[in-house]
Amino acid sequence: MATKTICGTTVQVNEEGFMTNPNEWSRDIAVELAKEEGIPELTPAHWKIIEFCRQSAVTTGKAPTLRQITSGSGATTKDLFALFPKGPAKKVAKISGLGKPEGCV
């Protein structure tokens, strides 16, 4: 398993750069991962989605799909694409320190 240093913390990642241990995640790491994904700043709207995804993963053991995020968080698909452009479920999972959602290419 590969590792990556983010904000001075070494974390385990898979070949696609997704963290493999959600317990290594922190809000500071999320900010840096967001920048890597082209999101310069995480707003309260971003954090609401990130926190929903992390909580969902605690319950289910995996990152939620786009449909699960929209139905569970109250955000629309349009909102998600505005907050996390070009593949919101995949981007929010990566920023949230979760694995890639099922069904994402």
pLDDT in tens, 25-77: 999 999 999 999 999 999 999 999 999 999 999 999 899 999 999 999 999 99
pLDDT over 70 at 13, yes or no: yes
The answer to whether residues 30 and 42 touch, using CB atoms and an 8 Å cutoff, is: yes
**pTM for this predicted structure:** 0.92
pLDDT over 60 at 18, yes or no: yes
pLDDT over 90 at 100, yes or no: no
Helix residue ranges per DSSP H, 4-76 = 27-36, 44-60, 66-73
Residue 104: predicted pLDDT: 57
Q: Give me the active site residues, please.
A: 104
Residue 75: predicted pLDDT: 95
Question: Quick one: tokens of 74?
Answer: 């109250």
